Amino acid sequence: MSARRLGTITAGAALVAATLSGCSAIDALSGTGVARNGDGAVTTQSEADAFDLRVGDCIDDNGNASQITSVVILPCKEQHRYEAYATMQLEDGDYPGSDAIVAQADEFCASEFQRFAGIGYDDSALDYTYFYPTSQSWSQGDREVLCLIGDPTGDVSGTLKDAER
């Protein structure tokens, strides 16, 4: 299972948004529109650019869209579909193609799954997916793979960290 994120912001804006972590006042100034507390946790549900999603954030289901530009980010204590659990930056250079990126993303997210869920993917009832750069978002500086964990049988309340299921 995989999802694509379509870049809609410039590399400079993405870098600024990614480096601002913590203060909701800073988030308000950066224009992300995501209300966060002092620890960076989401405090209220809001629709936001997919680039505003951070590790630890929970999102509502985005269906089977092949390219994601926006997500509904909400506090993890509320019913949600997925939780962002790991991120990696791909190496700069020419766009390697979606097959190469998917292979790297799948390997990374599978290896991080056990660290997060407390159980190996093959032994788990949970599933993962990921957002990764498209050729368009790559040209705008997007190099991030963002892993998402979820329960394929239904909605989740709370974090799946150390869920061991």
Paired tokens of 70: 């926006």
What is the edge-to-edge ordering of all strands in the sheet holding 67-68?
A: 46-49, 70-74, 58-59, 82-89, 144-150, 127-133, 3-5, 67-68
Least confident range of 24-38, 47-61, 83-97, 118-132: 24-38
Amino acid identity for residue 18 in this structure: A
Residue-level pLDDT at 153: 82
pLDDT of res. 32: 58
Residue range 23-50: mean pLDDT, rounded: 73
Asked whether residue 134 carries a pLDDT value surpassing 90, the answer given is yes
Q: Is the pLDDT of residue 25 over 80?
A: no
Percent of the chain with pLDDT over 90: 68
More confident residue, 104 or 14: 104
Residue written as tokens 């790991």?
Answer: 86
In percent, the amount of the chain with pLDDT more than 70 equals 77
Mean pLDDT, residues 53-68 = 80
Q: Per-residue confidence at 65, pLDDT binned at 50, 70, 90?
A: low
CA dihedral 95, 72, 23, 37 (to 10 degrees): -150
